[in-house]
Amino acid sequence: MPVNLARYFTFPGDRTGGTGAEFPVCGLTLSTAGPMKAGEDDGNRQRVFRQLGIVPSEVVSLRQIHSRVVRIASTAAAFRDLNEGDGIITASETVVPVISVADCMPIYLFDPVTGCFGVLHSGWKGTGIIRSAVELAADEWGAKPADFKVIFGPHIRSCCYTVDAERADYFTRAFGPSCVVLDPEREKEGSRWPWRLSLAEANRLLCLSLGIGESNILDTNDCTSCSTDYGSSRREGPGSFTHMAAFIHRH
């Protein structure tokens, strides 16, 4: 696991240290890995995946549309026609779900009872996608929300993510008032974006409402906009930011 190319995360309850012996391996490529957007820079993606011990032909990715659409990947070959959405779940020992992020939140999930796992791309528009994933897993494998382990990966945090009153109101109504905090200094300055939004809090509240226990949720607490270790649209600019690959696999 080359530490200069990716950061790894361990599900709550995983005593293997994230080695994948029992639980899936969860990782996020760093800026040093270079651009990792699906469908672009394929040569770099394949090089990085091989260095991370991932077979490129087993990787499944999507044309992401900032939605709550989740796809099931039974095999890598069969998945190629399902190319639009923002989340991938599977129960396969060989499939490697991958999504691209750069400030949006990667959400990793795993049900140790049924063995299903996956990764989701959750920006502000897609917040709620974990509900889609849990419901789809219930339909496909009989998975129960209480059994899921969840990781909130690095993303833009409330320290750097400011929004306008309309978006703050939406999150308050849809997820809960603790998702947003009014910054008095920004309000005093007359900023159009005086509210600080926490995507992690919105997803935490959603997980609890679904029946996923607090002890089954891990928040990595890293801010992509603060740290140059990560790619960030906010920090690097919309035309030049580094896409990162969030991946999960069982081998």
Rounded Cα–Cα distance for residues 154 and 247 (Å): 13
Q: Is residue 60 part of a domain?
A: yes
Rounded Cα–Cα distance for residues 241 and 103 (Å): 10
Q: Is residue 65 part of a domain?
A: yes
Asked whether residue 45 carries a pLDDT value surpassing 70, the answer given is yes
Q: Is residue 151 part of a domain?
A: yes
Q: Is residue 120 part of a domain?
A: yes
Asked whether residue 8 carries a pLDDT value surpassing 90, the answer given is yes
Q: Would you tell me how many other CB atoms lie within 10 Å of the CB of residue 80?
A: 11
pLDDT at 42: 82
Distance of CA 204 to the CA centre of its chain: 13
Average pLDDT over residues 109-117: 97
User: Domain containing 109: what range?
Assistant: 6-156+214-249
Domain count, the chain: 1
Could you tell me the CATH number of the domain that includes residue 100?
Answer: 3.60.140.10
Asked whether residue 2 carries a pLDDT value surpassing 70, the answer given is no
Asked whether residue 46 carries a pLDDT value surpassing 60, the answer given is yes
Q: Is residue 67 part of a domain?
A: yes
Kindly list the distances between the CA atom of residue 201 and the CA atoms of 94, 97, 208, in Å, as whole numbers in the listed order. Answer: 33, 25, 11
Half-sphere exposure of 192 (CA within 13 A, CB side): 0
For residues 194 and 187, the answer to whether their CB atoms sit within 8 Å is: yes
- Nearest CA to 212 out of 134, 124, 97, 126 is that of 134
Q: Is residue 224 part of a domain?
A: yes
Q: Is residue 202 part of a domain?
A: no
Average pLDDT over residues 192-221: 98
Q: Is residue 204 part of a domain?
A: no
